[in-house]
Amino acid sequence: MKIYYCPSRRAPRIYGNYAKGDYAGNAGTIFSNGTPTNNTANAGSGTIDGVVVRTNVPPILLNMITDGTSNTLLVAEKWLHPQQWGRDGGDNEPFVNAGWDEDVVRIGGGTFTYTHPRTGSTVTIPRTPQPDTDAPNPTSGTVWNQQFGSSHSGGMNAVFADGSVRFVRFGVDPVVWAATCSRNGGEPVTLE
């Protein structure tokens, strides 16, 4: 389905037997892969501060987005290196994946350490939106990339919890971005 692919990144196509998707939900600032064993709001990582949550925890209602729906990210583009389409851990399962991992959600807090594809050096960067050409591109193995980004020049498209769509620039302040990915941190900041 065309709507699941960003036209600036790639045309709709099948990878193996699966359709993919270029967008992921906002799981907040902390990510814990796997399946929690209880039905509490703190299942998994111990903190749930995103808008998109697992189906076995209570749903996030609008009144639980206390930082404001216009200040809180809902869905955005995934960070994927062009040579990793269909291979990257965040792009290796179908767009209708029922699991809870980087195929369906991303985060905006903390840092990420990896080998930069152009310089070959090990770098640690904040989990802010990044250009696809800077995404991990290993020659073997699978990358489980947890942040947002795009193939656009200068930034990415993002849908906020109020339904608005905005362009978020690469290089956004990491503290502001983490606050944008948190729905209830008491820091209702506005992106520049």
- pLDDT, tens digit, 9 for 90 and up, residues 42-96: 444 446 789 988 777 778 899 999 999 999 999 999 999 999 988 888 887 776 6
- pLDDT, tens digit, 9 for 90 and up, residues 124-156: 999 999 999 999 998 887 788 889 999 999 999
Locate the domains of the chain by residue range.
15-181
pTM: 0.88
- DSSP string for residues in the chain: -GGGS-TTT----EETTEE--SEEEE--S----S--SS-STTTTTS---SS---TTSPPPPGGG-TT-GGGSEEEEEB---GGGTTTSTTSSS-TT--S-STTTEE--SSEEEEE-TTT--EEEEESS-EEGGGS---SSS-----SBEESSSSEEEEEETTS-EEEEETT--HHHHHHHH-SSSS------
